[in-house]
Structure 1
């Protein structure tokens, strides 16, 4: 489902952290200026001195960390001057030390957003990083100047490009509220309280979406199928995890090692499942379009391209024209992993890679072009790229048309 920012968030603001914001000395951290930035109105400013406890997701994004660091916590919103009737209210947001706050530093980029469900999303990342550019792009402030004296408000209600917003954040491991569709009963009727095979769940997720043609609109189909599967899987995962937590771990229910093993298995399943789901939906679209290909076929050096066209038999036949061979790598996120695709088929100098990653930097896409790696990005996500980049990008529809052209 393609959404405007206002479909997910009520307000947002950003800044670069000061030394006070990121002080490691105190066990408490505070952020002020939310009222001026427009977020205080959504959090509420009662005049009876009451504090509000707000559920918050804190996220630290860094290339050094590799995977996002996420902390689910409760923050406190209150008026620090309530006891002083001679001074105007000063509302601040306090949050405790955790895995995220232990990592950020003065100067880091910070985005805070309030959701329609009344929760907060707080994202931190190094300044000038690709993560900052992506977060700015998702919030529509890629080139916005920063208020040096405090938070800069984001106009979430202004018209902008529509993106699969929840799916974009799910790439960072962030679950934002709900799109209002409850699939749990259908899932439990089909699979019970168990994790099914990814292929079976992908098939099931496609059946939950509206009637959409993978032939007429392959880009839209890919995004909607991925978004539906992501939402459905998180609902099943939440149900299973809650059930497991109620049961406890070990004979006495307090085995820490068993709990850690369970937690790691949940995280690892999330990572691997998303990539396999992406390939499953791509495969279904290619089959619907009568494309000849092999999935996971081997080439030289035991390399295994995600998709090889028209297949391994033609690739290994040296008399088959090299200009009619193609490979397509599939990665939900690129980072530096896009270079892996370059070594996957020596007979094919120009490689293709399909991704859902928004706003990859111009420096990265320039390197890709120089190394003959053609990026394929679903049409809706291309809006997050700079105009010059978008001219070079291929959509999934473009790629399918190219394959049809050489397979006729």
Structure 2
């Protein structure tokens, strides 16, 4: 029933005059870090586009109100406020635009929704005046998130997607991020779309070399590889979109092709980066997609599949690492992937979890491995319990130092 409602909601938004803004809620957005943020972060340029009347310095802190309705949850409408804090031009230093006052009980302000994929659909004014209403959907399950990501590709924590609803939800938007044209991609890629591993190998020549820390390296490498993927995608798709389509079938075929490619990249990119970093930093004893009980296939098994199935190998020396770009709700999927290992490790790029989510993971025997630059995005009380990628690699290289 909920999925049907969600599909209908998306169809209505895609077919209407809406501007959508899509992101995963960070711990700062929801208040899970305990900070004093004023709510969901929305870039200044988007606020400026949607509320042109406040984009001036004729008066201090101009603002306008709009109705905020939440279609995904049962909560009352609120009167949100778009405001330009322009104190720098008067008696202060602040110079930013925000949308505040989402209302008591809003899912945008619930720490338990940290990591949730969220869509804000702003209804555009036909005459280009201020937007007067926004309709909100905060995904409550992986199934709902899959509906969106099947169309637009993986929504990586920390990235923002915005644009005309018809384009974004039609699956052919290339506006996930500004395309960086500084890379001179191989000539044969103009004729064929390279594999994920080929892109990563090519990207290796463009990584920033200043750090030997695997946590910082991972963040940098993901960024560079994603930039190159977007550039190659634009090369293969943009001209087709500009020329238009002879039929609906042609449009759907291209949209499906783009969607499938994005899903394929999302599923393997992070694992490939980790595999390369393991080897680079001396961790060579691991297996990918090894089979455990019931034909389960954890992302990484340490030190090997043979050791896992060897009754004489010490169980306390076995490790499993699952890889999830986001871990909200999805962390439960990994609990039974290696029955012999009581505490499993989960690598994620999610920008924070709530206290409740973290304690549930902890009680289920899940240890979070998070790149060190993202630790500050987690509640202060749990930061010390997070494991860095560097610490994970160091522990295992030491543990298996005597293995042949």
User: How does the TM-score come out when normalised to structure 1?
Assistant: 0.61
CA distance in 1, matches of 2:334, 2:379: 24
Taking a change above 3 Å as real, the CA distance of residues 122 and 228 of structure 1, as seen in their structure-2 partners, is: farther
Asked if residue 169 in structure 1 is aligned to residue 150 in structure 2, the reply is: no
Partner of residue 313, structure 1: 306
Distance change in 2, residues 1:264/1:298 (3 Å): same
- DSSP-derived class of the 2:21 partner: strand
Describe the shift of the 1:28–1:340 C-alpha distance in structure 2 as closer, same or farther (beyond 3 A). Answer: closer
Q: Secondary structure at the match of 1:314?
A: helix
Residues 371-390 of structure 1 aligned to structure 2 (within 5 Å)? 371-390=364-383
Q: Which moved more, 1:124-133 or 1:337-346?
A: 124-133
> How far apart are 1:272 and its partner, in Å?
3.0
The residue number in structure 1 matching 2:264 is 272
Map 1:1-400; keep pairs closer than 5 Å: 57-59=20-22, 77-79=51-53, 107=77, 126-130=107-111, 133=114, 168-170=157-159, 178=178, 181-184=180-183, 186-189=184-187, 191-192=189-190, 194-212=192-210, 216-249=212-245, 253=246, 255-291=247-283, 292-400=285-393
Query: What is the CA–CA distance in structure 2 between the aligned matches of 1:113 and 1:239, rounded to whole Å?
Result: 38
Determine if contact 1:193/1:236 at 8 Å carries over to the other structure.
Answer: no
Q: Mark the CA change 1:226 to 1:121 in structure 2 (over 3 Å): closer, same or farther.
A: farther
- Residues 308 and 91 of structure 1, relative CA distance in 2, 3 Å threshold: closer
For structure 1, list consecutive stretches of 5 or more residues without a partner in the other structure: 1-23, 30-55, 63-71, 81-87, 115-119, 136-165
Deviations 1:315-350 (A, max 9, x none): 111111111110101111112111111111111111
Q: CA deviation at 1:221?
A: 0.7
Return the offset for 1:394. Answer: 0.2
d(CA) in 2 for partners of 1:113, 1:353 = 40
Q: 1:202 to 1:173 in 2, by over 3 A?
A: farther
Q: In structure 2, how many angstroms separate the alpha carbons of the residues matched to 1:295 and 1:280? A: 10
**Deviation (angstroms), 1:106:** 5.1
- Report the alpha carbon displacement of residue 360 of structure 1 after superposing the two structures with TM: 1.2
The 1:385/1:108 distance shift into structure 2, 3 A limit, reads farther
Give the conservation status (yes or no) of the 8 Å contact 1:108–1:127.
no
Offset at residue 312 of structure 1 (A)? 0.5
Offset at 1:181?
4.5
- Conserved? CA contact 1:78–1:92, under 8 Å: no
Structure-2 change in CA distance of 1:102 and 1:321 (3 Å): closer
Distance 1:121 1:201 in 2: 37
Alpha-carbon distance between aligned partners in 1 of 2:225 and 2:306, rounded to the nearest angstrom: 33
How far apart are 1:264 and its partner, in Å?
A: 2.9
The CA deviation string for residues 134-153 of structure 1, in whole angstroms up to 9 with x for no partner, is 69xxxxxxxxxxxxxxxxxx
Any gaps of 5 or more consecutive residues in structure 2? 1-12, 26-45, 55-59, 85-96, 117-154, 163-174
Is the CA contact (8 Å cut-off) linking 1:298 and 1:305 kept in structure 2? yes
Instruction: Measure the CA separation in 1 of the matches of 2:399 and 2:20.
Output: 48
State TM-score, norm by structure 2.
0.62
Secondary structure, aligned partner of 2:335: helix
Tell me, yes or no, if the aligned pair for 2:322 and 2:346 is still in contact at 8 Å.
yes
The 3-state SS of whatever aligns with 1:343 is coil
Kept after mapping to 1: 8 A contact 2:351/2:378? yes
